[in-house]
Structure 1
Amino acid sequence: MTLISDDGSSRTQESDVRPSPSLERVLNPSTIAVVGLSDKSPVAPFIEPTLDSDAEVFFVHPTAPTVLGKPTYRTIADIAEPIDAVLSVMSAERTVTLAEECATLDCGGLVIYAAGFSEVGADGEDLQRRLAAAAQRGGMAVIGPNSLGYISVPRSLNLTASADYRPPAGGVSIVSHSGAMIGGIAIAARARTGMGISRLISAGNEVTTDMADYVDFLASDPETAAVGLIVEGIRRPEEFLRAARRCIAAGKPIVALKLARNSRTQQMAASHTGALAGSAWAYDVAFRHAGIQLAHDLEELVDRLSLVGQLDPAKWNKVERLGVVAGTGGFASLAYDLAEAEGLVLPPLDDLADWVRSTIPGITVPNPLDTTGFGATFWTDIVDRYVGSPELEAVVFVNMWGEGDDSPMYRRLIDDVAVAARRFGKPVAIAAGAGPVGAYAQDVIGSDGSVALGYGLRGTLRGLHTMGTFVRDRGTPRPPADAVTPVPRPTGPLPDAGDGRSFLPFTQAMALLDRFGISTAPHCTVDTGEQVEPGFAGPYAVKLADVPHRTELGAVALDVGRDDLERAVADIRAIAQQHGLPETVAIQPMTAARGELLVGIEGRSELGPMVVLGIGGILVEVLERVGGRPAPLTHTDAVALIDEFRDLRLMHGYRGSEPWHLAQLADLLVGFGQLAAACHGWIESLDVNPLLVTEDGLVAVDALCIVRDTEGNR
């Protein structure tokens, strides 16, 4: 995909860029200098486990002779060898002085706890500029400032101000803009038997090193099997999405939790698109398109990553047909409901139906299977038949095997599952009815990636859904969109939308649509003193041309005959005079329609321009539902976007009605994507509402295009 930046330059999607050597040194250090720590420091116990790592740790303190039992250096310059990671536990100002000293030495970079930088205003911004300048001079990576540092669990590297929660080691790495949430992740991981953490990284203010850098690093990190992100905002979207694609191409699923989602509810008075397609919505759209899956709280984030962190990637599949074997009827019923809610399909298993009916008295439903009272008797055969069934791609076994149920019988049941999983090479999960599976189960199944232990039924199903979605998305080719040539912003004064923002006049907006192959209705405009000669047959729609909300002003007249046209134009012009508005009047032929669509562009997104689609007219406000894709779109993107509305049964046809010209709609969406990318430097938002669905095709009768000012400010 080629995108167009605000300055008009093209930006290519693919890259062979690898993580910076300085970040590699900081996150995989052989030598560490901890500066400013004393034995009395409240974070000393959190850092102390680092002494058990394979890295050489030096302590720098101006007065304390020892720290954590080790002799100190008075300054960092006194350490004779290169330092990969410098951890500062000092104030903001003293940390900046330290960074400026490190810039003259051989240091990979710094980990900085201190607050008091850009987040506090002008004084802090000056410190942050000095810090960034020092990092640039020294070629150093900086984790933070205003960060809780990082933890590498397998290496026992605790360069962190977060409590030592001691999560189990594993393959899941987390990067969080919110420092405190790495502690929440560690706590959640400890609660899940089998879940393991590789790295916990608190990004902080991202003075030099940001989310894109961390994801790029993790794409090549051999200790990371899956990635979780807790995101406030992405500073460099192109680089971030490129890094995410590298990570996914390396076989590492990414799940993201987007914070500050309430921005979607902020109403933008001039634009339906702006009201419905806010910041969080744009992140959801761009993340899904890039193959990044979504979570909505920490528990869900951990659940979605837990199973992929445990199962051997060689056993992953699309999980399009899931089997559930339950220890009770209640769990069987709940499993069916939750699987449906999580988008997983439990097929009826026709090939097992006769065997189930003849083997397990009173049971007629093979999937989910209720083994109440008979499971122990037929268990080994049940496990073999379900795990080995060619109709199933994955199987969940759910029972009340929690921490207090470490019985020989349960161990035997779990062992049978593990044996079958290894034999058939299929993803298999064991779930307790609620909460974690007992820790004894880990001893039974081992750690060869044949069986995963879930957390409750819903958490287990979410983990399988994440695995299946990753395999499906990764296997779906994503051809690049066509390159786009930038279109310059129109020159000259533009009408005011009434809130200080400008918009394109009616004729310019319609011409822009025509330029990108978006069908528009015939139209003409009449200025003061001009003769009213539309050049097309009526009846007519007459409206003020260059106002954003003409309906609210009563400045629209419909079904106007030719004899009444001049009077209608005069009446509309009088409304403009009454409100001090431009007096240009637009005339169009009335267009019969059997449906309406909203198609728009959201240009304010931090992740680049978005194309927005929804049911138009008043239904866009009633349904409050829109879909979208990052611009520019491929035809495949457009078809997939249209298909998201199939459940509404409007544009796809209902009660024998014809679909809404879906092939043409796909072409128009591609055109909107080209328009959005080409004009990204100056379009803030664009609404075509309605895009009319006529018997002959789709036609735009109006467009509201909000424009940034001449400096490109949003």
Structure 2
Amino acid sequence: MTVDRVLNPKTIAVVGLSDTSPVAGFIAPTLNSAAEVHFVHPKAETVLGRPAFRSISEVPGPIDAVLSVMSAERTVALAEECADLDCGGLVIYAAGFSELGEAGADHQSRLAEAARRGNMSIIGPNSLGYISVPRSLYLTASADYQPEPGGISVISHSGAMIGGIAIAAKQRTGVGISRLISAGNEATTDVADYLDFLASDPDTTAIGLVVEGIRRPDEFFAAARKCIAAGKPVVALKLARNARTQQMAASHTGALAGNAWAYDVAFAQAGIQLAYDLEELVDRLALVSQIDPKLWNPVQRIGVVAGTGGFASLAFDVAEAEGLTLPPLDSLADWVADTIPGITVPNPLDTTGFGATFWTDIVDRYVGSDELDAVVFVNMWSDAPLYHRLIDDVAVAARRYRKPVAIAAGTGAVGDFALEVIGDDGAVALGYGIRGTLRGLHTLGAFERERAAARQPVEAPAPVARPAEAIADATSGGQFLPFREAMGLLEQFGVPTAPFAIIEAADEVQAPSFEGPYAVKLADVAHRTELGAVALNVAASELADSVTRLREIAAQHSVAPTVAVQPMTGSRGELLMGVDGRSELGPMVMLGLGGVFVEVLQRIGGRPAPLSRSDAESLIEEFRDLRLLHGFRGSQPWHLEQLADTLVGLGRLAAAGRDWIESLDVNPLLVTEDGLVAVDALCIVRK
């Protein structure tokens, strides 16, 4: 759905607004825009000093954006009338739609049908509308917090969040807002449409998302790739990260609110960075919106020059916590020791007592250092001539050496005076406190690294049909595939599996073709360990007795008596692999350490399916810090090449069976001397 007309309107009709409306003052700045604004009211002669039409049909010519400030029922009638006119779309404040469940379903259905019939986009309902600061478009029920115009655009499912973002941006020197869009219930137009619009929006340089749920993940991630390809970093704040907030989100906007882990994994895979509150969201966007994109680089080595030892020490601790590297700068150690007596640590540099004397040389050497990708200057700046000179020296060096340079206050904003000193050519950014500034540099560097990697979507495999047979699980009420079918699927998609023999209820017990000792288990039971339905190290002479005991257990618990026999397999480690097909973003492949490590470490990594080889390798790399997979104390790595191939194969299976695989657990995936081998699989299927 195209949203160009409604977001860049040449003509606007505001329906239902009167001078006494509580939102009249919020909308009034729109009269200063380049758009032609009309008012429609059944009784008022004038609205905001302009004559009012009695109905929308009386407004002359095409109408790009219609803003309704009426109730749900009247807004639906308005939409149905607009469908017969040439209208680009509606912006709807009213609640009373899908967020009420069945009570509002009819209103939302009629609204969507009117939009379809009139080829109109809908912003909302249950929305606070949108703001375009540079264009003075305020089709909003949000107060005018008067942020400075700039390049940051934000799409939010939560309407009130756009006000919070405007306030946070206004508190930060040099940070400006382009667009704030409240998505609301997304009756027809959703966050994917807005993101696609922002990818080519000339007013937008960086994008923030406040997300409850994604309705169309394929379109959403395609739009995100467009934004990143256009040089526009995307940072997301995922709301509803636990069960209670998911319920709150559903009651608030009617939006979906799925598993936060899946969102974190999928966003990271797409190059969308994460924030965990509004302050962090704005901080991560602030520097990329200020620094000239021609100066961006991967920012893997940062230098910090601080006005006091306390700020220097704090900057180092914060940088470490934020995953940033401050190299030791050995090449500058002798010069620092000779220039600033008593200082032995060049980075971060403490200039206490000597900064003003040697400042110009310090700035030139640090900004000009080939060992640094970016430099931060920290102090408690003020509007005094001395600080003007110090900041000007930073700006001069930044223009000379062409790399990201930021000026940060020890806490809070630097101050508007600094803007007059540094100018507006994007050579220097102004940060908000030490942590906020470093987070901004982290986002800039991570974006450049991700853009260089430029992950392309992996072609999905052809769908595979669900095996016809499925077994009911009396415990969960779900259904799962028989052992034979589940293992066959793994083998079909390149997951190495252990050999097995199936002994049906009526079969005579015979030794399988492979040698013992054996692992013997009830094959078609979802939770066989709880039933004691597994026997290990069974000799060939004991096989018949083991099968008999397992059949007795099956009869006792009214489960299938089919028995699986496998060779005992020695291992030096266990992995857990799986597929979560319940995410609204599509199937996710999971990897973790098996055995007791799953519960002890509670460490699971993942990627959206299907995976490329590089996706699999980067997922494995996430476990390097645990030292087990990659080898330790002279031990061999856990067949990492084969593991990458196995993850790719599992991802293809997950994608091919996305319509029917609820979950798939490969537990354990044994690490043997000769390679990896799956000895069990539980595949839960949708009914």
Under TM normalisation by the shorter chain, which class is it?
over 0.9
1:682-701 deviation digits (Å, cap 9, x = unpaired): 10110001100001100000
Selected match of 2:441 from 464, 469, 478: 464
For the 8 Å contact 2:460–2:656, the answer to whether it is kept is no
Q: Give the corresponding residue for 1:270.
A: none
Is 1:262 aligned with 2:242?
yes
SS at 1:553 equivalent: coil
Selected match of 1:639 from 599, 603, 617: 617
1:163-219 deviation digits (Å, cap 9, x = unpaired): 111111100000000001001101111111111100000000111110100000000
Amino acid at match of 2:605: G
Quote the Cα distance in structure 2 between the aligned partners of 1:625 and 1:293: 20
SS at 2:542 equivalent: helix
Q: Give the corresponding residue for 1:606.
A: 584
- After TM superposition, give the deviation of residue 549 of structure 1 in Å: 1.1
- After TM superposition, give the deviation of residue 495 of structure 1 in Å: 3.4
Q: Give the corresponding residue for 1:409.
A: 386
1:247-396 alignment, distance < 5 Å: 247-263=227-243, 279-396=259-376
For the 8 Å contact 1:380–1:416, the answer to whether it is kept is yes
Selected match of 1:60 from 40, 46, 51: 40
1:185-200 alignment, distance < 5 Å: 185-200=165-180
SS at 2:566 equivalent: strand
- After TM superposition, give the deviation of residue 264 of structure 1 in Å: 11
SS at 1:233 equivalent: coil
The two structures have a TM-score, normalised by structure 2, of 0.97
Amino acid at match of 1:253: P
Q: Give the corresponding residue for 1:205.
A: 185
Q: Give the corresponding residue for 1:660.
A: 638
Q: Give the corresponding residue for 2:20.
A: 40
Q: Give the corresponding residue for 2:535.
A: 557
Selected match of 1:617 from 595, 601, 613: 595
Quote the Cα distance in structure 1 between the aligned partners of 2:561 and 2:469: 18
- After TM superposition, give the deviation of residue 325 of structure 1 in Å: 0.3
Selected match of 2:504 from 527, 531, 535: 527
Q: Give the corresponding residue for 2:452.
A: 475
Quote the Cα distance in structure 2 between the aligned partners of 1:510 and 1:82: 61
Is 1:650 aligned with 2:628?
yes
Residues paired across the two proteins, number = 675
Selected match of 1:150 from 125, 130, 144: 130
Q: Give the corresponding residue for 1:712.
A: none
- After TM superposition, give the deviation of residue 481 of structure 1 in Å: 2.9
Q: Give the corresponding residue for 2:655.
A: 677
Is 1:570 aligned with 2:520?
no
Is 1:168 aligned with 2:148?
yes
Selected match of 2:409 from 432, 438, 463: 432
Quote the Cα distance in structure 1 between the aligned partners of 2:139 and 2:493: 53
- After TM superposition, give the deviation of residue 121 of structure 1 in Å: 2.4
- After TM superposition, give the deviation of residue 493 of structure 1 in Å: 4.4
Selected match of 2:665 from 687, 692, 695: 687
Amino acid at match of 1:603: G
SS at 1:106 equivalent: coil
- After TM superposition, give the deviation of residue 263 of structure 1 in Å: 4.3
Quote the Cα distance in structure 2 between the aligned partners of 1:425 and 1:115: 50
Amino acid at match of 1:186: A
Q: Give the corresponding residue for 1:98.
A: 78
1:515-552 deviation digits (Å, cap 9, x = unpaired): 11111111112122312222221111111111111111
Q: Give the corresponding residue for 2:159.
A: 179
- After TM superposition, give the deviation of residue 559 of structure 1 in Å: 1.1
Quote the Cα distance in structure 1 between the aligned partners of 2:244 and 2:607: 17
Selected match of 1:498 from 475, 481, 498: 475
- After TM superposition, give the deviation of residue 618 of structure 1 in Å: 2.1
How has the CA–CA distance of structure 1 residues 381 and 367 changed in structure 2, closer, same or farther, with 3 Å as cutoff?
Answer: same
Quote the Cα distance in structure 2 between the aligned partners of 1:453 and 1:243: 30
- Deviates most, 236-245 or 558-567: 558-567
- After TM superposition, give the deviation of residue 337 of structure 1 in Å: 1.2
For the 8 Å contact 1:147–1:204, the answer to whether it is kept is yes
1:260-293 deviation digits (Å, cap 9, x = unpaired): 1114999xxxxxxxxxxx7111111111111111
- After TM superposition, give the deviation of residue 482 of structure 1 in Å: 4.6
Amino acid at match of 1:557: A
Selected match of 1:580 from 528, 547, 558: 558
- After TM superposition, give the deviation of residue 123 of structure 1 in Å: 3.4
What do you get for the CA RMSD once the two structures are aligned?
A: 1.3
Give the 4+ runs in structure 1 shifted more than 6 A. Answer: none
Amino acid at match of 1:703: A
Amino acid at match of 1:77: S
The two structures have a TM-score, normalised by structure 1, of 0.93
Quote the Cα distance in structure 2 between the aligned partners of 1:62 and 1:485: 57
For the 8 Å contact 2:460–2:655, the answer to whether it is kept is no
Higher RCO (Cα < 8 Å, 6 or more apart): 1
Amino acid at match of 2:431: G
Quote the Cα distance in structure 2 between the aligned partners of 1:122 and 1:549: 38
- After TM superposition, give the deviation of residue 480 of structure 1 in Å: 4.7
SS at 2:242 equivalent: helix
SS at 2:345 equivalent: coil
Quote the Cα distance in structure 1 between the aligned partners of 2:525 and 2:114: 51
For the 8 Å contact 2:398–2:428, the answer to whether it is kept is yes
Quote the Cα distance in structure 1 between the aligned partners of 2:63 and 2:369: 56
Selected match of 2:521 from 543, 547, 557: 543
Which 5+ residue runs of structure 1 have no aligned equivalent? 1-18, 267-277, 710-714
Q: Give the corresponding residue for 1:484.
A: 461
For the 8 Å contact 1:335–1:457, the answer to whether it is kept is yes
Quote the Cα distance in structure 2 between the aligned partners of 1:530 and 1:493: 21
Amino acid at match of 1:572: L
How has the CA–CA distance of structure 1 residues 34 and 201 changed in structure 2, closer, same or farther, with 3 Å as cutoff?
Answer: same
Selected match of 1:223 from 190, 203, 211: 203
Amino acid at match of 2:686: R
Q: Give the corresponding residue for 2:485.
A: 508
- After TM superposition, give the deviation of residue 586 of structure 1 in Å: 1.1
Selected match of 1:451 from 421, 428, 432: 428
Which 5+ residue runs of structure 2 have no aligned equivalent? 247-257
Quote the Cα distance in structure 2 between the aligned partners of 1:131 and 1:292: 32
Q: Give the corresponding residue for 1:3.
A: none
Q: Give the corresponding residue for 1:8.
A: none
Quote the Cα distance in structure 2 between the aligned partners of 1:471 and 1:415: 27
- After TM superposition, give the deviation of residue 498 of structure 1 in Å: 2.2
Amino acid at match of 1:367: N
